[in-house]
Amino acid sequence: MSLHKFYPIFDDVSWLKRMLPLGIKLVQLRIKDATEDHVRAQIAEAQALCRAHDCVLVINDYWQAAIDLGCDWIHLGQEDLDIADLKAIRAAGLKMGVSTHDDDELERVLAMEPDYVALGPVYPTILKKMKWHQQGLPRVSEWKARVGEVPLVGIGGMSVERAPGVYEAGADIVSAVTDITLNADPEARVRQWLEVSA
């Protein structure tokens, strides 16, 4: 199956309740610093919402909960790869997306046959402190040439205005966080994203 070109990331299921009715078809739930019970309750609710709206749900980090709750997709960062049971993830039939930032990470990830590769930050981002300042559009094109048929996600500092250039550079999917969550009118911003990624 091909994934939708617009990939918002939210930190609470309340965002999904607001945004899925607008037509989002691919979303990541990225919960940080929460109890296991809270995480599992959020995932279960998110899954029900996504199924009702025919939306692909990707769970960040919590691979064991994703397996236990019958999810379809997981996203892992580089630090997660060190501790995640990749055999168990694959045995459960989970599809897997992975973050990459440099050549070594990309080589490591491609050997795992991921279902998508994320490259970031394409632009400077306020969301995380990173040693990588910005990758730039030429890196997006280089990464796409290297990953081939594997879908490439551009993330980091993304906005509606920057999205067309990122697609043009080779990204199959563009992911946004603060461009939506910090916007004065998040619903209107999501509608713009859906338009630019149609």
Q: Which residues are designated catalytic?
A: 30, 99, 128
Helical spans, DSSP H, in the chain: 13-19, 36-52, 63-68, 78-81, 86-91, 103-110, 137-147, 163-169, 178-181, 186-196
DSSP string for 99-124: EE-SHHHHHHHHTT--SEEEE--SS-
Helix (H) / strand (E) element for 74: namely strand 73-76
